Amino acid sequence: MKEAHGEADPLGDGRRRRRQPNRNIHRSAALRDRTFDLVAGAFDIDPDRGRAFGLELGVAEGRCYPDYRALFAGEAKRPDGIEAVSIATPNNTHYEIAKAALEHGLHVVSEKPFCFTVAEAEDLRRIAEARRKIVGVTYGYAGHQMIEQARAMVAKGDLGDIRLVNLQFAHGFHSAPVEERNPSTKWRVDPKFAGPSYVLGDLGTHPLYIAEVIAPQLKIKRLLCARQSFVRSRAPLEDNAVTLMEYDNGAFGTVWCSAVNAGSMHGQKVRIVGSKASVEWWDERPNQLSFEVQDEPARVFERGMGYLAAEATEDDRIGAGHPEGLFEAWANLYSGFAVAMEATDRGDAERLSKVRYPDIAAGVEGVRWVENCVRSAEAGGVWIDYR
């Protein structure tokens, strides 16, 4: 699959690369299994910087475009033009770039939050379906194998009836107004670029999607959200939020997302509590899954081991014992995107139905959750019916 990046990776000098070491996660994931090649791109909002960066990556000069419109138009004229695009730009650009890409007949990988409104998300779903194109959304943590183990255990009934879903993504990196000197945080607290929320969309959608994977039977019926801007200048966008959720089977959920949880690293945890037992996964220890049966000693399941469900070992890259991490999780995601794209192009519905990846439905649901949370918070933090 020939892929382009609308990713603006602002690298180009070693200094910046050391300071922002996670800048190549899309490339690393897409190229890991040789399912994609990076052949073209619009690599920065600044065309000169983007061109320099593209050249540094080995992209041909004529395929380093000044912007995404030139990228899609230019590639459409080539017999060997791109087949997919990865969009890793600020939130306000996802909708317009994804729409243009789909209309040019390209498969899309988009960053989250997918777009600003459910109406936009549904519009993209309609276009993708009409064009028979895949949209993958990079909920990267979902590529960790122990998420599959938790899903298999819930499906098998190891937990009993699901009662509680306890989610959090609460780091402390923005406890102070770091946006004053960090452009990557500055746009995140500006509704024009970030959309209707900060931490709800930026952080909360990650564990929310993981919970959807682990316990797909749970559907939100009502929710209540309260959000705060502890760094006052961030208002109306929140740097902390708590959401309570009632599911239609009687289960209850909580989501705490925060960028002001001082002292915490990532703090992304997913705990699913059933009538017999619980599972808990923490993204800072992603190779382990805690399984706690009432009245028994807690057990820790380890990635790569033979006792795991088949789905949990399918993506194993280095065997048990060696720690895999976020780069491998993202590579698993991108490999799912590639299988889905190829199956779609071949019209292989059976193959497509067997590959699970964060798809456009996951993108739409993330936007829907944020929209409902904001609606509740704006009404004063009240219970609202989920729609």
Ligand X SMILES: NC(=O)c1ccc[n+]([C@@H]2O[C@H](COP(=O)([O-])OP(=O)(O)OC[C@H]3O[C@@H](n4cnc5c(N)ncnc54)[C@H](O)[C@@H]3O)[C@@H](O)[C@H]2O)c1
Strand order in the sheet with 162-170: 299-302, 288-293, 277-282, 268-274, 162-170, 252-258, 240-247, 220-228, 384-385
How near is the Cβ of 163 to ligand X at its closest, in Å? 29
Q: Smallest distance from the beta carbon of 283 to ligand X, in angstroms? A: 10
Q: Whose Cβ is closer to ligand X: residue 89's or residue 313's?
A: 89
Closer of 200 and 343 to ligand X (Cβ) = 200
Q: Which is nearer to ligand X, 44 or 315 (CB)?
A: 44
What are the CA-CA distances from residue 206 to residues 24, 257, 305, 341, 354 (Å)?
19, 10, 26, 23, 22
Residue 137: what are its φ and ψ, rounded to 5°? -120, 135
Kindly state whether residue 68 participates in binding ligand X, applying the rule CB under 6 A. yes
**Which x/- pattern over 111-140 shows residues binding ligand X (rule: CB under 6 A)?**
xx-------------------------x-x
Considering only the stretches 86-94, 155-163, 270-278, 283-291, report the one whose residues sit in contact with ligand X under the rule CB under 6 A: 86-94
If DSSP states are collapsed to H, E and C, what string results for the chain?
CEEEECCCCCCCCHHHHHHCCCCCHHHHHHHHCCCCEEEEECCCCCHHHHHHHHHHCCCCHHHECCCHHHHHHHHHCCCCCCCEEEECCCHHHHHHHHHHHHHCCCEEEECCCCCCCHHHHHHHHHHHHHHCCCEEECCHHHHCHHHHHHHHHHHHCCCCCEEEEEEEEECCCCCCCHHHCCHHHHHHHCHHHHCCCCHHHHHHHHHHHHHHHHCCCCCEEEEEEEEECCCHHHCCCCCEEEEEEEECCCCEEEEEEECCCCCCCCCEEEEEEECCEEEEEECCCCCEEEEEECCCCCEEEECCCCCCCHHHHCCCCCCCCCCCCHHHHHHHHHHHHHHHHHHHHHCCHHHHHHCCCCCHHHHHHHHHHHHHHHHHHHCCCCCEECC
For residue 10, state whether it binds ligand X (rule: CB under 6 A). yes
Question: Going residue by residue from 185 to 204, which x/- string records binding to ligand X, judged by CB under 6 A?
Answer: --x--------------x--
- Binds ligand X (CB under 6 A): choice among 12, 35, 53, 91: 91
Residue 249 Cβ vs ligand X, minimum distance, rounded to whole Å:
29
Q: Which of 29, 74, 81, 89 binds ligand X (CB under 6 A)?
A: 89
184 part of the interface to ligand X, by CB under 6 A: yes
User: Cα(first)–Cα(last) distance of the chain, in Å?
Assistant: 37
Identify residues 272-311 at the interface with ligand X (CB under 6 A): none
With contact defined as beta carbons under 8 Å apart, do 331 and 146 qualify?
no
Under the binding rule (CB under 6 A), the answer on residue 179 touching ligand X is no
For position 259 contacting ligand X by CB under 6 A, the verdict is no
Contact flag: residue 237 with ligand X (CB under 6 A): no
Segment near ligand X (CB under 6 A); pick from 37-45, 171-179, 254-262, 279-287:
37-45
Residue span binding ligand X (CB under 6 A) among the ranges 82-90, 314-322, 358-366, 367-375: 82-90
- CB-wise, 190 or 302, nearer to ligand X? 190
Count of residues near ligand X by CB under 6 A: 21
CB of 46 to ligand X, least distance (A): 6
> Interface with ligand X includes 6 (CB under 6 A)?
yes
Least gap, CB of 351 to ligand X (angstroms): 26
Q: State in angstroms the smallest separation of the CB of 222 from ligand X.
A: 27
CB of 146 to ligand X, least distance (A): 17
Applying CB under 6 A, which of residues 1, 31, 45, 309 lies at the interface with ligand X? 45
Residue nearest to ligand X (CB): 8
Q: Which of 3, 4, 8, 338 binds ligand X (CB under 6 A)?
A: 8
Among the listed residues 4, 35, 36, 44, the single contact to ligand X using CB under 6 A: 44
Q: Residue 216 to residues 76, 170, 180, 203, 204: CA-CA distances in angstroms?
A: 39, 23, 40, 20, 17
Q: Which is nearer to ligand X, 76 or 349 (CB)?
A: 76
* Residues engaged in binding ligand X (CB under 6 A): 6, 8, 10, 42, 44-45, 67-68, 88-91, 93, 111-112, 138, 140, 183-184, 187, 202
